[in-house]
Amino acid sequence: MLGVVAIVLLTLAAALAAAFAQYLFKRSLKAFRLNLKGIILLASNRGVILGGLISLASLAVYLLALGSGQLTFVYPTFASTFVFVLLISHFALKEKVTRARALGIILIIAGIAIVALTYG
């Protein structure tokens, strides 16, 4: 069994990897169309393939954390994915962070902190 610090670090690593995979998907899907040609192009897109592989790695790390921790702790901690997505979107994609989104992220962080403080 892993300790609580290892579980948190694994979960945060899985969340960061999942967020980065989403960034790769977004960056790679400039003009995706849901038809046969679009699906074939999608299947050969390096960014989509890499994002998929990173998503699988993220799942493996998440499952490792989940196998050692409580679901009611690990899953809410994985919500840090939303924080990482916002940061990546802002800095890499130059997306605007509105006050409402910033407040939402603050609430997510507060929720994760409350869950973390009640672990045990």
Listed by start position, the domains of the chain span: 4-117
Q: What is the pTM of this model?
A: 0.91
pLDDT of residue 29: 84
Mean pLDDT, all residues of the chain = 93
* Average pLDDT score over residue span 60-80: 96
36-64 pLDDT, tens digit per residue, is 888 888 888 999 999 999 999 999 999 99
- 37 closest CA partner among 47, 45, 25: 45
pLDDT of residue 117: 87
1-31 pLDDT, tens digit per residue, is 789 899 999 999 999 999 999 999 999 887 7
- Classify residue 76 by burial, with Cβ atoms within 10 Å: 0-12, 13-18, 19+: middle
